[in-house]
A and B are shown apart, each in its own frame.
Chain A
């Protein structure tokens, strides 16, 4: 009984994700082009947010420079596809490998010299900005002029990852549910336990035999590789890459708002959070443009973050889970009492 519970995710989560998946797939068939492209971006930022959320929510390592990995993935796909005509799948694999290496090197350097916590976060910003400046001056990858994918022609192709807006909607949706599954699997594996222990108290977990130095490197490297896949997909959807838009601080911030609002380290947090914050950002931006108040979207972000931290410090998803649990407990209450009488 006990063993089964470990091997399988709990039934509520599986049902919830199946329901969400079928609703979102259904929507992919009926929504108008604007909502399709908005949701595609939501899904991609969810997917990247999941990588960031695992790193902080489970591993306890804060990154404010995740755009570094997003950019590595985006440029790997763009350069291999545009310059050499290779399938974006190669670009995704190369981007993952590069980002994993860069992440491991950054983590090794940092933790080797006891740079941790907020100082490590500052280091991630510095690394992302450094990479952005390098790319801005590198003619081979387009420098400031960026790189453009060739214009759309022919049918949708899964091999070349080229297609219309609806095609990318489903690619991004698949990525999100891959991310949800991987997050859930990691949470249930020994890594989930060991990483949470390390996040709560690093010294105490070392005394329990946790090789924290190694695990921290693995987390940053893994999260980086994951974000690079998201970056590669983002580049394809946008049809172009520029250093400022794919590797700028703005991307790093956009990544972290959703997971914080939705619930750090949870399987569904990034999706729920990004579904709220990104459309809010677009809405506020549209209202701001209409009434001549630029930057209203940033104000909206600020309010969303403050509201989340103030009212729901653990995020929306943990609250929803508890609510669902208490509702099911209530409806099963009579049945459970009968069971106990039988015993």
Chain B
């Protein structure tokens, strides 16, 4: 049984900048993995490479054993990788539930089925009561959750979440972590970009650290926070878990 996702020597160059530098890692079939690192470490670029927003300059990405690097974003989504955007991108002229329905049309053409799936996804992230609201009525945390619901309605095997908890107050973030745990228990694999170490410690079973585009460490949260290179490059000398 191969791993769900395999990155093998993946690099991406933007002009003179090597945004992602020879990164390799594997994701198991389930559980929550966090991708951490300072600003500009290449986390979001890494996400975009997996999700097919642009192809890698070098290296290969496999999903369920199939080579997907270079595929367009819509095909990668249809293979089972859902993603959110760091800067939320709701469809402004559509209601909350209509937004969530779009993803469902990647696997059904029945509007009623899509509506049911969207409602389910909205209930999961706690947006059920606001299903018929206009996007302009949503707060930022709501919009972040809508991004998650949109990605969930595509029925992914792997969910890429780009800083969905940024800007949330601690109790809100805790609620989201609980949702993610529930999803992971249902057999979903989640790859999470996150800044707040406390959330990462709480949510993730596995952590990958990027620095200047390269992977500098990988392991359990406990291992990561005691890793000398991670402390030097990212957490800071004063950090003690």
Contact = CB atoms under 8 A, between A and B. Distances in A.
Given A2-B112, A6-B115, A208 B94 contact: no
In this complex, the member of A193, A199, A206, A211 whose beta carbon has the largest number of chain B beta carbons within 10 angstroms is A193
Contacts of B108: 190
B77 interface: yes
B74 A204 contact: no
A1 to B, nearest CB: 11
Given A197-B94, A208-B106, A208-B154, A189 B111 contact: yes
A197 B111 contact: no
Interface residues of B, number: 34
A207 B83 CA distance: 7
Interface stretch (B32-40, B95-103, B188-196, B231-239): B95-103
A2 B92 contact: no
A209 interface: yes
A209 B76 CA distance: 8
A164 interface: no
B78 interface: yes
Given A6-B112, A193-B114, A209-B74, A204 B91 contact: yes
B106 A205 contact: no
Contacts of A2: 112, 115-116
A201 B89 contact: yes
Interface in B127-144: none
Interface string B41-85: 000000000010100000000000000000011100110000101
A229 B53 CA distance: 39
Contacts of A200: 91-94
A196 B91 contact: yes
A212 interface: yes
A253 to B, nearest CB: 25
B93 A194 contact: no
A188 interface: yes
A206 to B, nearest CB: 4
A201 B91 contact: yes
Given A2-B112, A3-B112, A193-B102, A209 B154 contact: yes
B109 interface: yes
Given A206-B74, A208-B150, A212-B74, A197 B102 contact: yes
Interface in B159-205: none
Nearest to B103: A208
A249 to B, nearest CB: 30
B112 A206 contact: no
Contact of B105 (A203, A204, A209, A212): A209
B51 A207 contact: yes
A115 interface: no
Contacts of A208: 77, 102-103, 106, 150-151, 153-154
A190 B94 contact: no
Contacts of A190: 105, 108-111, 114
Nearest to B153: A208
A210 interface: yes
A203 B151 CA distance: 14
Interface string A3-32: 100110000000000000000000000000
B101 A193 contact: yes
In this complex, the member of A2, A190, A212 whose beta carbon has the largest number of chain B beta carbons within 10 angstroms is A190
Contact of A196 (B53, B85, B94, B112): B94
A212 B94 CA distance: 18
A207 B85 contact: yes
Given A197-B91, A207-B85, A6 B111 contact: yes
A69 B153 CA distance: 38
Contacts of B102: 193-194, 197, 205, 208, 210
A7 B102 CA distance: 18
Contacts of A193: 94, 98, 101-102, 105, 111, 114
A339 B81 CA distance: 45
Contact of A210 (B83, B105, B112): B105
B20 to A, nearest CB: 19
A188 B78 CA distance: 23
Contacts of A204: 85, 89, 91
In this complex, the member of A3, A196, A208 whose beta carbon has the largest number of chain B beta carbons within 10 angstroms is A208
Nearest to B116: A2
Nearest to B89: A204
A201 B94 CA distance: 11
A249 B98 CA distance: 37
B47 to A, nearest CB: 11
B159 to A, nearest CB: 12
Contacts of B93: 196, 199-200
Given A196-B91, A207-B51, 16 more contacts: A188-B111, A193-B101, A193-B105, A194-B102, A194-B105, A197-B91, A200-B91, A200-B94, A207-B53, A207-B83, A208-B77, A208-B102, A208-B103, A208-B106, A208-B151, A208-B154
11 contacts: A6-B112, A6-B115, A193-B102, A193-B105, A194-B102, A204-B85, A206-B73, A207-B51, A207-B77, A208-B150, A209-B154
Give me the 9 closest cross-chain CB pairs, A-B, nearest first: A209-B106, A200-B91, A209-B77, A204-B89, A208-B103, A197-B102, A206-B73, A3-B112, A6-B111
